[in-house]
Structure 1
Amino acid sequence: MEDIINHPHDTPTMEDIISHSHDTFTHFRRRGMVPLLTDGPAPFPRHRDDVPDPANVQGDIIYLFPKVAENFIFFRISNVAQFQRDLATFNPTHAKQVYENLEAIHEAKTRKGPWVKIVQKQIAFSRRGLTVLGLTEKTGDNRFDVYAMRDNKKFLGDGMPWDPVFDKPNPDPVNGTANKDLGAIHGVITIAGSDDKMCEDATNETLTHFGGAIESHHVVVLRGRTRPGQFKGHEHFGYQDGISQPAMRKLIAPLPGQIQVDAGVVIAGYKGDPALERRPKWVKDGSFMAFRKLEQLVPEFEGYVVKNGKRWREFVPKVNADPPLSDGEGASLWGARMFGRYRSGAPLALTPVRDNPAMAADPLENNNFDYTVPNYDEPTDIRCPFTAHTRKTAPRNLDPYLSKRFLEAGSIVRAGLPYGPEVTDAENASGTSSEADNLKRGLLFVCYQSDLDSGFVRQTVGYANNDFFPTVSLIPDHHGQDPILGGPPAPVHAAAQTPIPAAQPGDAVTVIVQGKDEQQLEVSGFASPSYAGGQSPPGIPQEFFVNSRGGEYFFVPSISTLKDISNAHRR
């Protein structure tokens, strides 16, 4: 920034600082989390009262850990006093250190120097874990203070069995079990490394460090790894991940089109935090973390897009498709219409028929859209389906039905990594995922927000699993669910007791059906055509290829709060 700030008569504008940040961190622009260089003169000092101090915020939240390998250590505390003593000598990585790590990595890449070896650590606690450690005061996040994630399994739309580590016994979807200890996870330690060996060594050292304070027989380690070679940065379905991150104002240098949010949307205690007025002091500079293990059925997904891609003429938007698509291009487009982006990362909203890898590789272009289409006054799905994953979970431009501020408030910072091996030849040949546990694969999903209901829950329940979202008219339109975040419960098909002669597709209809034990059930919804006896359009019914295997809600305390916890044994 010297070329900007050495001229006393030229105060740098925010545009100058953003541009300089991008020029300085050119190697990180694609990840969408470019640090804002705020070490210039006022009004942009490195720390201000209205934004978090990076040195007090644990490391993954603001800038995201740069990593190749990441382990999640789930644990239960057996000896509180010993745990507090061990915590006093545990050194979690704060965001200022992550910033410095990014600088070192950028410098090494620029000079084509040796690989920078880094280990980064973070610790978070469940509601029960905080209580065990003596922090019994409510956090101000009602969902976190009442519910374990297992209580919300049905609410979140999870229909498959959960892994034992997350499958808490005796869940209570009404009253919650966040403060009940039976089967509870007390916390999770995240270890991120620049290679697999460093990550594993640091994990073993951490387990040894806390060995006398945690229940060794209840420790579970889940391992995430970047995919190899050309697939680096892509999840197991093959799609570029991590493009559509929100940029926290005064902390992240936004790219064109990137959604900007107040820091309090992600980090508690600042503007944008919906519970700002009711937070205890120790919650400030912390963030709520939702963790989910999402299993992906990759061979089945590949077969599905190939099958439907051959029928591209039935779903291709009414725009230029000349020359005609090949079957492979049709499959690519069908997958893009499920995700909202092609595998390269190119957004369907800007290139609605064919992939554009050059656009995908350009961070100045690949996020610069808002789903508007010329000559359309209302939101339209002519280029990108309303059900597309990115359009469901990161909605844009829904004025006048939902305000920009409301959409900003629902933003989350996403982290995590893929887990499991690459698809085997046998799985590819059969088109079916192996049943062997060591061949399961998917995504270890992590997200951060200052309020679970505003962030993770809104995106999962209010957006992704809501057949009528996004809101694009005054009368609810039935779009369907997000095909990526996980399938809904199996549908129940039943015939109405009496015919409805006047019903037409799109009409609001209420029918009476016979339930169990002679109970009559009233079902209301919107009529859609049935294709019995004929060929359904592609994707009807929608098939789903992601199954949640469980998760938990955690709170990531500030560095200062961790020090207070560790000092508690001395009082």
Structure 2
Amino acid sequence: MLELDDIQGLLLWSERLPYGRYRFLTFRDPARARAFLAQVAGQVSSAEPGSTPPTSQVFLAFSCNGLRALGVDEASLQSFPEAFRVGMPARAEILGDSGASHPDHWVGGLATTDLHALLVLFASDPAERARLVEEIDSLLAASTGVEILSELDVAVLATRREHFGYRDGISRVYVEGTGIEPPPGCGPVVKPGEFVLGYPDETSAAPRLPQPEWLSRNGSFLVYRRLYEDVFAFREFLRRNADTREEQELLAAKLMGRWRSGAPLVLAPDRDDPELVADPERNDNFNYGQLDPKGFACPVGAHIRRVNPRDTINNIQRRRLIRAGLPYGPLLPEGAPDDGVDRGLGILFGCADLERQFEFMQKEWINAPKFQGLDHDKDPIAGDHDGTYNMTVQKKPLRKTLRGLPRFSQVKGGAYAFVPGLRALRRLADG
């Protein structure tokens, strides 16, 4: 059974609050940092469900340098996976973080060795977020050993969609042992060891834990990505490649694999279907191998088909990621010129194996030019485009090729972090 009272709820909660702040911390004085940690640890939210919905949530994760600063010895750190030890900036080539997305251009100090911890705050409304931030600020003011490198406010937009106009967060992962049953179409529940250390994974084995076991058990690995969305370029691309408003909406759906309302193309190939979106037992109940093997409805290279190929690959359960996150920055009004404002998504991914799950998705699915029989294509939404790759739209009698896609999503920061269990968090605070 999952020890829900010891697992941080960041990954396993089915519902997340709509306002947040991500804080990136550095530890200047280990002893005083541990004192701050002892204060915050009591506020960190577990995965155990409460009797009433929470109005705020606090989560805490550490980089490898952060664990080192807290006193974890080198022998223990060497037992952690290489990707975590070296950090995300060192994995830039694997992840496709090149050009303007290279760590040399990241903001907020996230590409430096000073990044020690990620403090994630979620709240039910702006006032509650302000109250929670003030509470954390008072703890920081009392501890001269911890400084804020940078921070990012995130929130659900007034449109209830992300900046490109798509409804987000429809497809979810359901973990065995949480007591939450998946609706039709979501596939079987995933073994907890794919996300939480110390439990059986899809091979029925419990992989060896990083040492000491008290530190890693009930922990997870966290991926943070700050993605700038070039909304003006995206809208211009739709206008250049489709004449009417209806044709532009269909093209946007082909790029994503869903209409911007969230209706999947596999179930609504010709026109949007808002009623389908409103039905949780239908809006994610589809596959590709049986319903759309050739991609005539949802193109083979569409974003949602790349990041979750469903029944078209073997062992899909071993590649799943738990995804959370919210938009940041103001909306760009429809028809407005490019205003140069930074806007996008602050995304969090959770997994038990950074290489097998997150890095595999980036390299073999999102940025693979020959994904599932394609020739020179990359993910149209999230791929590391340089103006030379295409998007193929399968159709009868002839396919359509959109050539020279620009890069719509630029990485502005990222990190690999470890999310310890609550008992481990308290022991780290004790030194």
**TM-score clears 0.5:** yes
For residue 147 of structure 1, what is the aligned residue in structure 2? 86
Match of 2:412 among 525, 549, 570: 549
Q: Secondary structure in 1 aligned to 2:310?
A: coil
Indicate conservation of the 8 Å contact 1:264/1:271, yes or no. yes
Q: CA–CA distance in 2 between the matches of 1:121 and 1:82?
A: 20
- In the alignment, which of 99, 104, 108 is matched to residue 52 of structure 2? 104
Instruction: Render the CA deviation track for 1:200-225: whole Å, top value 9, x for unaligned.
Output: 23123213313324453x53111101
Partners of 2:122 and 2:276 in 1: CA distance: 30
Within-5 A mapping of 1:172-183: 183=113
Aligned pair in 2 of structure 1 residues 329, 424: CA closer, same or farther (>3 Å)? closer
Aligned to 1:564, the other structure's residue is in SS state: helix
Shift of 1:486: 3.8
Q: How does 1:387-536 map to 2 (within 5 A)?
A: 387-398=301-312, 402-403=313-314, 406-424=315-333, 428-430=335-337, 433-435=338-340, 439-470=341-372, 477-478=374-375, 480-489=377-386, 491=388
Q: Deviations for 1:483-523, whole angstroms, at most 9, x for unmatched residues?
A: 1114334549xxxxxxxxxxxxxxxxxxxxxxxxxxxxxxx
Residue 198 of structure 2 contacts residue 217 of structure 2 at CA under 8 Å; is this kept in 1?
A: yes
SS of the equivalent of 1:89 reads helix
Task: Tell me, yes or no, if the aligned pair for 1:157 and 1:489 is still in contact at 8 Å.
Answer: no
Q: 2:186 aligns with which of 254, 258, 264?
A: 258
Q: Distance in 1 between matches of 2:36 and 2:146?
A: 14
Question: In the alignment, is the contact (CA less than 8 A) between 2:83 and 2:91 conserved in 1?
Answer: no
Q: Please, which moves more after superposition, 245-254 or 289-298?
A: 245-254
Q: Identify the residue that residue 190 of structure 1 maps to in structure 2.
A: 120
Which of 298, 309, 315 is residue 242 of structure 2 equivalent to?
A: 309
Instruction: Give the distance between the partners of 1:57 and 1:239, measured in 2 at CA.
Output: 31
Partner of 1:488, secondary structure, is coil
From 239, 245, 249, the counterpart of 1:332: 249
How many Å apart are 1:567 and its aligned residue? 1.6
- Which of 117, 126, 135 is the equivalent residue of 2:63? 126
* 152-161 or 66-75, larger mean C-alpha shift: 152-161
Check the 8 A contact 2:66/2:115 in 1, yes or no. yes
- Indicate yes or no: 2:227 matched with 1:298: no
Larger radius of gyration: 1
CA distance in 2, matches of 1:57, 1:292: 22
Matched, 1:364 2:278: no
Q: Structure 1 residues 164 and 344 mapped into 2: Cα distance closer, same or farther (>3 Å)? A: closer
- Tell me the residue number matched to 1:93: 44
CA shift, 1:248, in A, is: 0.7
Residue 346 of structure 1 deviates from its aligned partner by 0.7
For residues 316-347 of structure 1, the C-alpha deviation after alignment (integer angstroms, 9 at most, x for no partner) is: xxxxxxxxxxx222211111111111111111
Structure 2 counterpart of 1:165, one-letter code: G
Deviations 1:345-381 (Å, cap 9, x if unpaired)? 111111112111111110100111111356x8xx321
Whether the 8 Å contact between 1:288 and 1:452 is mirrored in structure 2 is yes
Letter in 1 for 2:125: D
Deviation at 1:287, TM superposition (A): 0.8
Give 1:168 deviation, angstroms: 3.0
Contact persistence 2:166–2:262 (CA under 8 A) = yes
Pairing 1:82–2:32 present = yes
- Taking a change above 3 Å as real, the CA distance of residues 54 and 213 of structure 1, as seen in their structure-2 partners, is farther
2:7 is the alignment partner of 1:53 = no
1:167 CA drift (Å): 5.4
Asked if the contact 2:227/2:344 (under 8 Å) is kept, the reply is yes
What's the counterpart of residue 137 of structure 2? 207
Distance in structure 2 (CA, Å) of the matches to 1:96 and 1:247: 13
Q: Which amino acid aligns with 1:459?
A: M
Structure 2 letter corresponding to 1:225: A
- Give the structure 2 partner of residue 277 of structure 1: 208
Asked whether the 8 Å contact 1:148–1:552 carries over to 2, the reply is: yes
Greater length-normalized contact order (CA 8 Å, ≥ 6 residues apart)? 2
CA, structure 1 residues 537+96, in 2 after alignment: closer, same or farther (shift >3 Å)? closer
2:170 maps to what in 1?
243
How much has 1:424 moved relative to structure 2?
A: 4.2
d(CA) in 1 for partners of 2:15 and 2:120? Answer: 10
Output the TM-score relative to the length of structure 1. Answer: 0.67
Q: Distance in 1 between matches of 2:418 and 2:43?
A: 14
Cα offset for 1:65? Answer: 5.5
Structure 2 CA distance, aligned partners of 1:486 and 1:196? Answer: 33
Q: Which runs of 5+ in 2 are unaligned?
A: 393-398
Aligned length: 409
Deviation track 1:15-59 (CA, whole Å, cap 9, x = no partner) reads: xxxxxxxxxxxxxxxxxxxxxxxxxxxxxxxxx2xxx21111112
Q: Counterparts of 2:153 and 2:110 in 1: how far apart (Å)?
A: 19
Quick one: which amino acid aligns to residue 263 of structure 1? Answer: P
